[in-house]
Structure 1
Amino acid sequence: MARDPLSRPRRERLSTTSAVRKDPERPSRLRIWLRRRRGLARPLLLGGLGLGAMALLVVAVRAADPLQRLRDLAGAVGAFGEIGEGTGLAVGLVILEGREHTPRDLIVSALGVSRGDPILDFSPEAARRRLETISWVARAEVSRQLPSTILVRIEERRPFAIWQHNGRFAIVDRSGQVMATEHLGQFETLPLLVGAGAETAGAALYDELRRHEAVRDRVQALIRIQERRWNLRLHNGTDVLLPAGNERVALERLAELQQEARLLDRPLAAIDLRLSDRLVLRPSREPEPAEAPAPRDGRTARRG
């Protein structure tokens, strides 16, 4: 006789451990222990949660930009500046490196920060951009060193020459960038460039002059003529006319003439090297007789 499948006995999973029947009315030892220590459970729980949150915060700060994390935290409570003041993160020291000629007041103005200001309110990137607008500053680096220090490093443009144009003088670098127009006395040993365009083209000609020391030492000024060629004004007043675009060959020729005939030491008004196949010399005018110096007591000098 076939057995009805619905009449099969029900299968149940049984625990392999022996079950002990407990009296529901009798509290377990664990419950008694917890009841006795209920007063300590809440502080322990809160302390554990606090330590866990602090650990998560430390990991997050180390994994990303610490300053950005501080900004995010400050923004979450809407009190960025107040947090900086409340935690003592205020500007206490500004360290400046690399300054030689840049006026100090211009640097202070560009930084835009004062002692005691919240350091988290200070933007190093914005300060860097302002510093690089100063004519003396080629590059700048600005950083914060928490809790209270701002570090500023600048790289100045190097003064190359004094540029004279329209009766005004300025200090320029090799690219022609004007760096200063006042207090130029300390730069009097720099080469003198004269005329429109001389500030940007002068470095190339000066580099050629440096190859011929005997010529360079006698040059007082490099004069740009109509922004296309150069004259050299010597200390004795002689003008050397150089050809446009062929200065190297002309200077080599001039150095040879100086070595062979001491040409640059002669009383000449001009030495014209613009023609490659000839040398044109213009003699200077005869000097006029000097007047007799007036005597110190005001009496008329006796002529012999």
Structure 2
Amino acid sequence: MSKRQLTRWQKFKLVDHFYWSGVLFFGLVIVFILYLGHKMTEKMMNAQDMPVSTLQIIGTRPYSSDLEIHQVLWELSESESFFSLNVEDVQQRLENIPWIRRVAVRRQWPNGLIIHVTDQTPVAYWNETQLLNDSGEVFSAPIDRITSWLPHFSGADDIASNVLSGYRALWPLLESEGLTLSEISLTPRQSWNVTLADGSKLVLGRGNDVIRNVRMERFLKVYKHVLPQGKQIDYVDLRYDAGFAVNWKKQLGETANNEQG
């Protein structure tokens, strides 16, 4: 074999060596990628069955309990994993707990849930067996968890927000005179009757907030002048255009009497 032929042969062998080395390297890369893909798939398949093991409950919750929330989550987590758990379903079920108003749920990697809970804010008893929240919405919840004083309202559910609006308008007027509004009741014809903490009843009649406020202010202007008489008010009829009528509670040996104001 001549020198020129030998050189060509060596070049061919060198090229052939690089070719097969490249093929081998490429093959190893493919195998490595397939291996990683298999492992990632295996890991994801295992993660699908990963249970929810940590729970963080935050928010303003003076009435709902951790036990109620955990009970709902326990029922769901028995059949659901961290990934398969439907957070909207969790939210809806938690909002069905009587004292809970709003819920926001989000996942926290790798196996936790963060639940933000906002309880109802009751402002009054409604028709004795239900409650009214600060948005004028009627809701039902165990009233034995209420520890603070609340007024009593009664009327048709569809006017509950109007009752709350009227209460908020009347409250400061009465409070400025040292009086506390304890009850509001509406008749089927939406005539307003207000009861004070001392038991005095004020008949405000029908009308909007402005009309009721005018009638109440008219009475409060002379209220302090009525007290020194040593008599206790039974009820005051404020439905007159330019005045009101006072009915006094019966004293021992007396009969009830009316007085125009």
User: The residue matched to 1:139 in structure 2 has which SS?
Assistant: strand
| Letter of the structure 1 residue corresponding to residue 89 of structure 2 | A
| Cα deviation digits, residues 229-257 of structure 1 (max 9, x gap) | 21111233221110211211112222222
User: The residue matched to 1:120 in structure 2 has which SS?
Assistant: coil
Distance 1:207 1:256 in 2: 20
Residue ranges of structure 2 left out of the alignment (5+ in a row): 255-261
> Which residue of 69, 72, 76 maps to 1:107?
69
Alignment of 1:1-304 (within 5 A): 26=9, 28-31=12-15, 33-34=17-18, 42=24, 44-49=25-30, 82-85=46-49, 89-98=50-59, 99-111=61-73, 112-114=75-77, 118-163=81-126, 165=127, 168-174=128-134, 175-187=136-148, 189-197=149-157, 199-212=160-173, 213-214=175-176, 217-226=179-188, 228-245=190-207, 246-262=211-227, 266-287=231-252
Question: When the two structures are aligned, how many residues end up with a matched partner?
Answer: 240
**C-alpha displacement of 1:274:** 0.7
**Structure with greater Cα Rg:** 1
Distance 1:133 1:151 in 2: 18
**C-alpha displacement of 1:116:** 10
Contact 1:239 1:269 in 2 (8 A): yes
| Cα deviation digits, residues 240-293 of structure 1 (max 9, x gap) | 11021121111222222225544898412111101112311112112379xxxx
Whose RCO is larger (CA < 8 A, sep 6+)? 2
CA RMSD of aligned residues (A): 3.8
Identity of aligned residues (%): 17
Distance 2:76 2:129 in 1: 33
Residue ranges of structure 1 left out of the alignment (5+ in a row): 1-20, 58-72, 290-304
**C-alpha displacement of 1:156:** 2.5
Larger relative helix fraction:
2
| Cα deviation digits, residues 44-101 of structure 1 (max 9, x gap) | 434433666799x9xxxxxxxxxxxxxxx97xx9x9864433xxx4311011111331
